[in-house]
């Protein structure tokens, strides 16, 4: 995933601002991860011919203990900051905000996927008819396998809608 993100981000930066005059290029890249993530990022930058962009990895300590972060240089060197260091607090807040954003986006995507159904693809089926069909048949799979007569028996489903659903799932069989 790190390779993909770096590939997209910096390939686009090269295309849109090859001279680095528009302010699109970062002064420093902080990578949320250790040696492996730093290595992946460095590989992409090397492939793209970017050799002057500073980057460093930040990972929680071996016990996943916030406050004992280890910093990883691309050349393999590692260092830590004292637990009460202001820069360390700032980097922790940056990481926590990035995590909050990513978790929120993931939850939003998952909630959207949970609300979707194969019935959403059937023309003429809105939320009310979708709910009526699911309440009557139980699952979208059962709706797909239902006969025209069974579809017509579902409450709130007209003969025309039942025909449209049946045709959608059984056309070409």
Q: For residue 77, what is the DSSP state?
A: -
Question: What confidence tier does 172 reach under pLDDT thresholds 50, 70, 90?
Answer: low
Give the integer Cα–Cα distance in Å for 132 and 42.
54
CATH number for region 118-168: 1.10.150.20
- Residues 40-82: tens digit of each pLDDT: 999 999 999 999 999 999 998 666 666 789 999 999 999 999 9
β-strand pairing of 55-59 with 29-32: parallel
pLDDT at position 132: 87
- Residues 84-138: tens digit of each pLDDT: 899 999 998 998 898 898 898 888 888 777 667 788 888 888 888 888 898 899 8
According to CATH, where is 1.10.150.20 located in the chain?
Answer: 118-168
- For the four alpha carbons of 138, 142, 147 and 148, in that order, the dihedral sign comes to positive
Give the integer Cα–Cα distance in Å for 167 and 58.
56
Residues near 24 by beta carbon (within 8 Å), at least 6 away in sequence: 13, 16, 17
């Amino acid at each position: 995933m790190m390779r993909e993100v770096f590939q997209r981000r910096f390939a686009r930066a090269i295309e849109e601002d090859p001279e680095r005059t528009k302010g699109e290029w970062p002064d420093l890249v902080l990578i949320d991860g250790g040696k492996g993530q730093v290595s992946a990022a460095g590989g992409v930058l090397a492939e793209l011919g970017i050799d002057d962009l500073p980057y460093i990895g930040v990972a929680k300590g071996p016990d996943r203990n916030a406050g004992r972060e280890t910093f990883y240089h691309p050349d393999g060197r590692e260092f830590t900051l004292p637990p009460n260091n202001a820069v360390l607090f700032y980097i922790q807040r940056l990481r926590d905000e990035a995590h909050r954003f990513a978790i929120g986006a993931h939850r939003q995507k998952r909630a959207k996927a949970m609300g979707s159904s194969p019935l959403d693809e059937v023309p003429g089926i809105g939320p009310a008819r979708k709910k009526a069909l699911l309440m009557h048949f139980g699952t979208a799979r059962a709706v797909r396998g239902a006969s025209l007569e069974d579809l017509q028996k579902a409450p709130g489903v007209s003969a025309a809608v039942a025909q449209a659903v049946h045709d959608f799932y059984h056309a070409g069989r």
